[in-house]
Structure 1
Amino acid sequence: MPTLVKTIATAVGVILLCAGGPTTAGAAPADGTVSCEGPVPDCVSRLEHTLAAVRDELGCDHRAPFAALYVRVQGALRQTLRERPALFAEPTWVARDLDAAFVSRYLTAYRDDRDGRPVPRAWRIAFTAARTGQTNAAQDALLGANAHIQRDMPYVLAGLGLVTPGGATRRGDFDRAQAVLDRAYEPAVQDIARHYDPLLATADARWNPVARLTAHQLLVLWRRNAWHYAERLTAAGTPGELRRASRAVEDNAAAWGTLLAAVQVPGYRLVRDGYCRDGRSTGATPPLPAWQPRQLPASLASGRLPEGD
């Protein structure tokens, strides 16, 4: 019973901290929250359509590459659930609770920024680069992914709980979800290269400012960091500890965002904008590949964390 009480108290504290703490964006607007009912593939399909509407609304806006990536992730999750319904021990937690809460975080940040409300630092870095920077589309996609995974995900995980009602860890399902990202990764890169930036067609693994890590490896690392920071949030036993854990989340995501936005090429914004306007395809979206879990890189097997944390 004490463990259950602590879990509930921590979840409430995380929710309150995210809603009104000094390092966050403030309370979510009413239209920033999505929920899912019914069969889990149908739930994911509705979230996919919601994100596709955001992507289409953005057009050639430099925030669109991340939205396009996110649509692909939802499509991969929907298709994987239909093809392998036994993949997850708790499919409703992964595809309904976690996914809906996670998508809500992105929609809140997107709509807050769109409507002139403050957003968390990592999102501010991403949106500022998209609005005024000379970054390429891969950077914009990764800046959004960094803010969403390393900043938003720890709060979502801690708020939902890292263990089942019966006390079993949810880490296995969280790790298995990496296969969904792996499935979505290459089609997402192709989408972004076709619609937003030709650079990705030839330089996806070599453009980024994080030496010796591909974009895929960054996503693996960031998800492991997210679980680590969720554990810190969950373990916080006092308001002071919770504030310090939250500050670590915010600082880590902002530091990564600053690094990712550092490399900019003068004039490249005009190149991208012209490419998107003149050659943006309106053809059918290529299908997802067959489900094929990717081997985790040995260097990331233990989930390396940023130095000094």
Structure 2
Amino acid sequence: MITLARAALGTVLALSLAAAPLRPAAADTYPGDPDPVRGIVLPPLDSLISLLPPLPVPGSEYAGDLCRSGSSLCIDEVMARMRTRLDGLVATCSHSAIFSLAYLRVTENVSNAVRSGYFDDAKWLNRVDTVFADLYFRTTSDWEAGRRANIPAAWKIALQAEDDHAMSGLGNFLLSMNAHINRDFPYVLAKVGLTAPDGTSHKADHNRYNQRLDQLYVPVFKEEAARFDPTFDDINAGSVEETIAGVIMRGWREMVWRHAELLSLARTPAARRAVEKQIETYAALQAIGIRQFFTTPHPEKRDAWCAVHGATG
């Protein structure tokens, strides 16, 4: 009962974040500026998220095969694979390049954050990043090879939309972000571990990255628009656009953690299957909504733009 109640509360919080207003930051402060407590600024939404503490998931040693050392070299290898993949997608102006570029920029940011000492547990972040990216590489490889029977529904919607040239660039971005975050990320966190062997929860590090993401929306949106789809940043709402992106991402990432808790605490195969169904359904429903809202009637304009500007990055 406690687990279900906390999960429900997490769902309410995630949904409420999509409508919660953000107070504009002071003109002389930026995401990541130091505060006397943790070395980062905590905007109001992050204070709200912190009101819901993590569930007491038992700690354990990492038992995975990927990045066992926890070294930052793991992320270096991930970024090399991402750059190779992106180059191939750009060469054909594939609509998959949108997410590939964004994912690379996020991973570069994670790498810089880990090396700067931004997180409490660098080894945990390196492992999470590596396992997370490996799942993306395997899913996209299976799709491209025609091995599609076991691909999750959210990913099928996202990847088919890319192949169909049916979406705006922003639509492709949101579909793949949804599939990789709302569908994939809970499994990754549950596999790598939510709690250190000494009992320390990794939730603080998970939350801490929200501020780093805030720094990425403007430059990534501008690069996507410059290279692949000039309508990508057409919302043009200034700080409001950034706030919307930050609110949505915080809501998604909070739900990710709560779903990972439910996976980790499932005590029977039937209980785990129930959680998996919840995760798959949540991500698929998000994908259906995005797919309907961001359809574009003129994909040829986007393709023509990419043919001229795509390789300029």
Letter in 1 for 2:222: Q
Letter in 1 for 2:214: D
1:299 equivalent in structure 2: none
CA–CA distance in structure 1, aligned partners of residues 172 and 102 of structure 2: 11
Correspondence list, 1:21-32, <5 A: none
> Is the contact made by 2:70 and 2:124 (CA closer than 8 Å) also made in structure 1?
no
Q: Give 5+ residue unaligned stretches, structure 2.
A: 1-55
1:61 equivalent in structure 2: 94
Letter in 1 for 2:234: T
Identical counterparts, % of pairs: 29
Matched, 1:116 2:146: yes
TM-score by length of 2: 0.73
CA–CA distance in structure 1, aligned partners of residues 168 and 107 of structure 2: 23
1:79 aligned to which of 103, 112, 131: 112
Matched, 1:43 2:43: no
2:297 equivalent in structure 1: 267
1:241-293 CA deviation, whole Å, 9 max, x = no partner?
A: 1000000000000000111110245532111111111232525xxxxxxxxxx
Correspondence list, 1:105-144, <5 A: 105-118=135-148, 119-144=151-176
Letter in 2 for 1:216: G
1:74-106 CA deviation, whole Å, 9 max, x = no partner?
A: 111122233x31x21111101x21110000111
CA RMSD between the two structures:
2.8
1:93 equivalent in structure 2: 124
- Structure 1 counterpart SS, 2:312: coil
CA–CA distance in structure 2, aligned partners of residues 43 and 180 of structure 1: 20
1:256 equivalent in structure 2: 286
> Is the contact made by 1:126 and 1:143 (CA closer than 8 Å) also made in structure 2?
yes
Q: Cα distance 1:272–1:200, how it changes in 2: closer, same or farther (>3 A)?
A: same
2:210 aligned to which of 171, 178, 181: 178
Matched, 1:246 2:276: yes
Q: Cα distance 1:272–1:174, how it changes in 2: closer, same or farther (>3 A)?
A: same
CA–CA distance in structure 1, aligned partners of residues 99 and 119 of structure 2: 26
1:300 equivalent in structure 2: none
> Is the contact made by 1:7 and 1:234 (CA closer than 8 Å) also made in structure 2?
no
Q: Give 5+ residue unaligned stretches, structure 1.
A: 16-32, 207-211, 284-309
Letter in 2 for 1:66: F
CA–CA distance in structure 2, aligned partners of residues 198 and 226 of structure 1: 31
CA–CA distance in structure 1, aligned partners of residues 261 and 68 of structure 2: 26
2:25 equivalent in structure 1: none
2:52 equivalent in structure 1: none
> Is the contact made by 1:157 and 1:230 (CA closer than 8 Å) also made in structure 2?
yes
